[in-house]
Structure 1
């Protein structure tokens, strides 16, 4: 069991780093809102996070 928890933690941290590298602080805020909304079972918070992520991904790139 500890190996699965360690692997999932490494995956989550790695995914957050990729999002931050690719989409910057706005991507991290969107990901954070989405994950908090899912864990708290708050549809408003998760919807805001999903919209922020969608706007970040579809927005213009520099």
Structure 2
């Protein structure tokens, strides 16, 4: 499981840069801490990054 997590993080960093890593960290922190604000902000940031990369 840690290898899979590392691989996902490296892919996000390679594809979306520092903002991708920050948004993924914010999303995972929000989910672990059961903080809806942090999880929502992280997921919105990832969605915006995905949208800008596809267009």
TM-score bracket relative to the smaller structure: over 0.9
Considering only aligned residues, what root-mean-square deviation do their CA atoms show, in Å? 1.1
**What is the distance in 2 between the residues matched to 1:23 and 1:60?**
8
Q: Which residue of 2 aligns with 1:35?
A: 28
- TM-score (structure 2 length as normaliser): 0.92
**What is the distance in 2 between the residues matched to 1:49 and 1:32?**
7
Q: In the alignment, which of 16, 35, 50 is matched to residue 57 of structure 1?
A: 50
- TM-score (structure 1 length as normaliser): 0.82
Q: How many residues align?
A: 54
